[in-house]
Structure 1
Amino acid sequence: MWSAEVLEVNPACDVTVHRLRPANQKVLLADRFYRYPEKIAELALGLYYTESRAVVGSYPGSRAMITLDTTPLIQTLSKLWGEPLRPFHAEYHPVIFSAIQNRDYTLTPWQRQPHIDQGVTAMVYLNPEEMCSGGTGLYRHRPTGLSRVPIGLTPELIRLGQQHGLSAQALRTQDGYAEFMNTVFFRPEYAVKENHYINDGNDYWELLYKIEMKPNRLVIFDGRTFHSQHIAPNQFRDYFRMNQILYFQGHD
């Protein structure tokens, strides 16, 4: 029976902060993050994983969840980030693990280019050192010059929508906003043509910063920044790329 003690943070973890140009977005790294990383890995490996779209959405792998008290963990993450981090559902956030194996898979056009999350994203890489490679890429959308999509409707987003035949009124509807995102940023032709991740970018996506995957490394960044797994075709073929993922509310 697992308890929240498995999520105990190492008080001596090594924290560094990077700034992503040109928009100056913050990227926080904390190495040696968990006090007991081997226990976290044991927990993650012992759970049931599903590829159900209802659980993973467009994530190109599988996920597992377990209910543990994440309140102390979130308090620590908030302190490191420099502002309160709030889960999307009340004050509770489950423990979520993600797994990708780079074999016998077919990526959709939306998985072969960057994406955004709804707010602040935090994750911890769980593989041991000998099984760490690649990482996470942060990108700029070349056609618009943007590296981040604001949460609210800005004059720039309205202008981009109008250029593609979408009115400001349409952008304020759920369907209209989804059409805007897929028309302006995530067009199928913007994806990598081959069946692999965007990695070092292409004519439509510029790699701004690659977060190197390291064991027991925490990463926190603005999930509205375009990002993607950075995984070469020859990586993670014989074992899974494992990480813990947390999503928090964001703001502009």
Structure 2
Amino acid sequence: MVLVKKPIKPQVVYIGELKTPVIVIDDFTADVSELQACASQIDFNLDMGSYYPGVRAKLPKDYVIEVLNHIFQLIYDVYKVPTNLRIKPQATYFSLINRQPESLTTLQRIPHFDTPAPYYFAILQYLNDQPHGATAFFKHKPSGFERITQQNMQQYFNAAEPYLQQIAPKPAKYFVESNAYYQQHHQIEYKQHRLVIYPGNLLHSTLVNLDTDIDSNPDTGRLTANIFINIE
């Protein structure tokens, strides 16, 4: 279905005070029209198992296999993953943001992490023409944490609770700029064909553009392909 544009040309950027590597591959694909057509023909549903503020649909299996075949060695090398561990796909989705700001839950109004697992990775490809909101990464200022691990997770939750209580009664809105609690330290622009790989324990958020991103139409919305893997 999707032909990866070879050779791939990965860039590794080191973000935040921790200098966590994030892999960015521009022009990962030359043509995503078949993938876009697939997204236009299938049903999207609310993802009840996550806090994602939108709808999702299953990615084609052959796309997932092709992507993983081209990047798995890169992930092992960049993140120094022990070679005895094996990739286990966790979830594979098309995603579209469609929730209006006023309907967001409290936890949808702050940067989040996917899991504290050390070798859990998000693989994200931007599929539509821009402009759409970027993917941003944050430091939690009261605790100083950029990545949430099993060791610091409870400390992070305790430190984040006062802010959650503070914003809970206020009008809901997407988190799109730094404040006294979360400081943005890097962002990656939404660009068609771009593939991004990052550890799922990084605090991150979409910088939702209210004019372009809240859209359930796969042809015009902020369409992404999301592959989540755990290496264990």
What amino acid maps onto 1:249 in structure 2?
N
TM-score scaled by length of structure 1: 0.74
Aligned to 2:224: 243
Partners of 1:120 and 1:64 lie apart in 2 by 19
Aligned to 1:77: 71
Q: C-alpha deviations, 1:98-125, integer Å up to 9, x for none?
A: 1113647611111110111122111001
Partners of 2:101 and 2:182 lie apart in 1 by 26
8 Å Cα contact 1:29/1:219 also seen in 2: yes
Question: By how many angstroms is 1:32 displaced?
Answer: 1.1
Partners of 1:215 and 1:191 lie apart in 2 by 34
Q: Assess, with a 3 A threshold, how the Cα gap between structure 1 residues 7 and 237 changes in structure 2: closer, same or farther.
A: same
In the alignment of these two chains, the number of paired residues is: 215
Aligned to 1:168: none
Partners of 1:104 and 1:20 lie apart in 2 by 28
Out of 102, 105, 109, the position equivalent to 2:106 is 109
Q: Assess, with a 3 A threshold, how the Cα gap between structure 1 residues 147 and 52 changes in structure 2: closer, same or farther.
A: closer
Aligned to 1:100: 97
Q: Within 5 A, what are the aligned runs for 1:122-141?
A: 122-129=123-130, 132-141=131-140
Question: By how many angstroms is 1:184 displaced?
Answer: 3.1
8 Å Cα contact 2:96/2:224 also seen in 1: yes
Task: Please list every run of 5 or more consecutive structure 1 residues that lacks an aligned counterpart in the other structure.
Answer: 1-5, 162-179
8 Å Cα contact 2:140/2:146 also seen in 1: yes
Question: By how many angstroms is 1:16 displaced?
Answer: 1.5
Q: C-alpha deviations, 1:159-208, integer Å up to 9, x for none?
A: x85xxxxxxxxxxxxxxxxxx65433355146595432211221100001
Question: By how many angstroms is 1:18 displaced?
Answer: 0.6
Matched, 1:39 2:34: yes
Q: Secondary structure at the match of 1:7?
A: coil
8 Å Cα contact 2:22/2:198 also seen in 1: yes
Partners of 1:111 and 1:139 lie apart in 2 by 15
Q: CA RMSD in A?
A: 2.7
Q: Within 5 A, what are the aligned runs for 1:216-235?
A: 216-235=193-212
What amino acid maps onto 2:113 in structure 1?
I
Identity of aligned residues (%): 23
Q: Which moved more, 1:189-198 or 1:61-70?
A: 189-198
Out of 177, 181, 185, the position equivalent to 1:208 is 185
Q: Which moved more, 1:30-39 or 1:141-150?
A: 30-39
Aligned to 1:184: 159
What amino acid maps onto 1:208 in structure 2?
H
Partners of 1:227 and 1:212 lie apart in 2 by 13
Partners of 1:15 and 1:195 lie apart in 2 by 37
Task: Please list every run of 5 or more consecutive structure 2 residues that lacks an aligned counterpart in the other structure.
Answer: none
Q: Secondary structure at the match of 1:221?
A: strand
Matched, 1:59 2:52: yes
Matched, 1:196 2:190: no
Q: Assess, with a 3 A threshold, how the Cα gap between structure 1 residues 24 and 223 changes in structure 2: closer, same or farther.
A: same
Q: Assess, with a 3 A threshold, how the Cα gap between structure 1 residues 93 and 223 changes in structure 2: closer, same or farther.
A: closer
Partners of 2:188 and 2:4 lie apart in 1 by 21
